[in-house]
Homo-oligomer: A and B are copies of this chain.
Amino acid sequence: MCRWMAYSGNAVPLETLLFQARNNLIDQSMSSRSAETPTNGDGFGVGWYGKREQPGLFRSIRPAWNDFNLRDLAAQIDSRLFLAHVRATSLATVQETNCHPFRHGKWLFVHNGELFGIEKMRRDLLLAIDAPLLEEILGTTDSELMFHLALTFGLESDPLGALARMAGFVERTGRDHGVEESLWMTVGVSDGESTWAVRYASDGQAPTLYHSRDMADLAQLNPDLPDLLGDHARAIVSEPIGKFAQMWSEVPQATALHVNGARLELLPFVPES
């Protein structure tokens, strides 16, 4: 079980939300409440949109809470849209290339959850990925495969459609190998303008996903961050933040989210079979 967040709004130093906000993602990485594993200490990553079209990416296998460089960068770098992720894995491979976000051109991708039966499906999933995209795969996570499948299925022109085709393909492949309910996910995707997020699981029990209702929420959590984030700021988080859970809106099961500026849209998410 991992944790992730996406922010869009006024350009702020990354540290504003990663370190300074109460119940921030870094603090959470040390002692989570809802997550199944108690500690998200198996790596960290942040992808941010700055002045270039391609987002920056900083990933490390150190626990986020003790990485000097992360603290420094978070203080120096301003961004109007970023995705951050802390990782906990029960599997052995902790390496930077398994840390989220994953990046392709201007696109970023984060995932929380699991592909059940990945050991039966990996070959078929690899096979379905476009050859040039296959060369970009550097790690061994199911998440990176999901991202590259979605890219193969048209993520760059139709994000939610491609995610639906990816989900459908994964579920079919699972069933072909006797895995009835293979997909368990929340994902976040951005091109630097919009952010899309999906909460979906084959068995209807996907991990949680929340979005901020409006800026009054974040302001209540952090009265010290008054007008900093701006009126159009939005945050999407994988888990309720501490005791303030009631201040976030839970995204229902099988639902997609589209955030663009102040606009936030909820849509049903149905894997394309």
Contact across chains for A63 and B42 when beta carbons are under 8 A apart = yes
CA distance A42 to B56 in the complex (A): 23
Partner of A95, one of B71, B75, B76, B95: B95
Partner of A41, one of B41, B73, B77, B127: B41
Contact across chains for B30 and A39 when beta carbons are under 8 A apart = yes
Contact across chains for A68 and B59 when beta carbons are under 8 A apart = yes
**A116 CB–B CB distance under 8 Å:** no
Whole-angstrom distance between the Cβ of A84 and the nearest chain B Cβ: 15
Whole-angstrom distance between the Cβ of A142 and the nearest chain B Cβ: 12
Contact across chains for B69 and A58 when beta carbons are under 8 A apart = yes
List the B side residues contacting A95 at CB < 8 Å: 95-97
User: On chain A, which size bracket covers the interface?
Assistant: 35 or more
Contact across chains for A131 and B123 when beta carbons are under 8 A apart = yes
| CB pairs A–B below 8 angstroms (5 shown) | A31-B38, A57-B69, A58-B69, A93-B97, A139-B140
Enumerate chain A interface residues (CB-CB to B < 8 A).
30-31, 37-39, 41-42, 48, 50-52, 54, 56-63, 65-66, 68-69, 71-73, 75-78, 89, 92-97, 119-120, 122-123, 126-127, 131-132, 134-135, 137-140
Complex A-B, nearest 6 residue pairs according to Cβ-Cβ distance, in ascending order = A56-B76, A41-B41, A66-B94, A31-B38, A95-B95, A41-B63
Q: A41-B63, A41-B66, A123-B131 are in contact. List 14 more A-B contacts (CB 8 A).
A: A30-B37, A39-B63, A41-B65, A48-B76, A56-B73, A57-B69, A63-B63, A68-B92, A68-B96, A69-B69, A123-B126, A127-B127, A138-B140, A139-B140
